[in-house]
Structure 1
Amino acid sequence: MHALPLRFPARLDLRAALGEVLAGHQANAGFVVQGIGSLTAARIRLAGMDEMTELHGDLEILSLAGSLSPDGVHLHIAVADAQGRVTGGHMGPNCIVRTTAEVLVALLPDHRFSREPDALTGYNELSIRRLDAR
C-alpha cells in the first residue's frame, strides 16, 4: 500500500478530482481513507433514495471515504451546515470545494478494482482482483 496525502483547492469538483487520482498515479485500485475540508455545494444521495439532495452554503466535510477504480468511484460523505445539521450518504457530482479539501488516499499497487453488475443488488458493485506479483 502507498499512502498518498492530497490537497484539493477551492472551486474544484471534489468527486471529479478524486475520480482522476488513479490515472494520475498509474494505479488500478485505491481507497479514500479519510477526508476533511469545506464545500460550497454538495450533492448527496441519502440511503434508499433515488434522487440527490442538494446543499448550498458553507459546508464542513466531517468525513469522506470510499473506493476508487479506473471505471468509477464509490464515495460516502458527511457534511455539516452552518447550523450544525449533518447530512450524509453517497457523494454525487458537483461537490465544490470552498477553501480546501485534505484527503488521504491509499493506493493498492497489487490490486485492480472495477465496478461490475451484481445480480443480487442490481447495482455495479466493487470487484477486487489481485494482480500477479511478477
Structure 2
Amino acid sequence: MDTLSWPAAATRFLALRLPEGAPLRESLQEAFDAQPEEGGFLAAAVGSLVHARLRPAGLTEPRDIIGDLEIMTLSGTFSADGPHLHLAVANADGRMTGGHLLDGSVVRTTAEVVIALAGGVRFTRPEDPGTGLRELAFE
C-alpha cells in the first residue's frame, strides 16, 4: 500500500456551479486544469443530469442513462493525467445506477461541486504493471 499525507492547511477548495447544459466531466477537468495544483479530489457534489454516460464495473462499453437524474454521489481524484471519477445517479423512480463517469454527461438544472486542491502534492496516473490500468500515483 502506498500512502502520502500533507497538512490540511495546504488544501485549497474550489467551488463550482455548473449551469444547465454543461458537460459534467469535461467542466470538472477544465476547472482543475486551470489551477496551479497538480493533485485534487472531489469534496462535495449535488445536482441533476439529463444524460449520464457511465461505464459500469466489469464492462468495456459505456452505458447512457437518459432522463431526469439526481446526482447521488460523485467522487474521485484529479491528476495531471486527467480525472478518475465515479458517479451514481437516481432516476425519477428512485432507481440508482453508477460507474465510471465518462465524457458526454450533461447537467439538467445545476451541479454544485467543490474540488479540494492539494498544494505541494502531485498526482499522476501511470500504467500499473500489476493491473494493466492507469492507477493513481503520488509524490
| TM-score of the alignment, normalized to the shorter chain, above 0.5 | yes
Q: How does 1:1-134 map to 2 (within 5 A)?
A: 1-129=11-139
3-state SS of 1:17 partner? helix
3-state SS of 1:59 partner? strand
- Unaligned stretches of 5+ in structure 1? 130-134
User: Over aligned residue pairs, what C-alpha RMSD do you find?
Assistant: 0.9
Deviations 1:2-44, CA, capped at 9 Å, x for gaps: 1222111110111001111222222211101221100010111
- Unaligned stretches of 5+ in structure 2? 1-10
Is contact 2:37–2:120 with CA below 8 Å preserved after alignment?
A: no
Once the two structures are TM-superposed, the CA of residue 119 in structure 1 deviates from its matched residue by 0.8
Once the two structures are TM-superposed, the CA of residue 91 in structure 1 deviates from its matched residue by 0.6
- TM-score (normalised: structure 2): 0.89
How far apart, CA to CA, are the structure 1 residues paired with 2:69 and 2:104? 13
Once the two structures are TM-superposed, the CA of residue 106 in structure 1 deviates from its matched residue by 0.5
- TM-score (normalised: structure 1): 0.92
Sequence identity, in percent?
Answer: 46
**Could you list the runs of 4 or more consecutive aligned residues of structure 1 that deviate by over 2 angstroms after TM superposition?**
none
3-state SS of 2:83 partner? strand
Deviations 1:35-94, CA, capped at 9 Å, x for gaps: 110001011111111111110011100110100112211001110011111001111111
The one-letter code of the counterpart of 2:126 is: E
Is contact 1:33–1:64 with CA below 8 Å preserved after alignment?
A: no
Structure with greater proportional strand content? 1
**Equivalent pairs, count:** 129
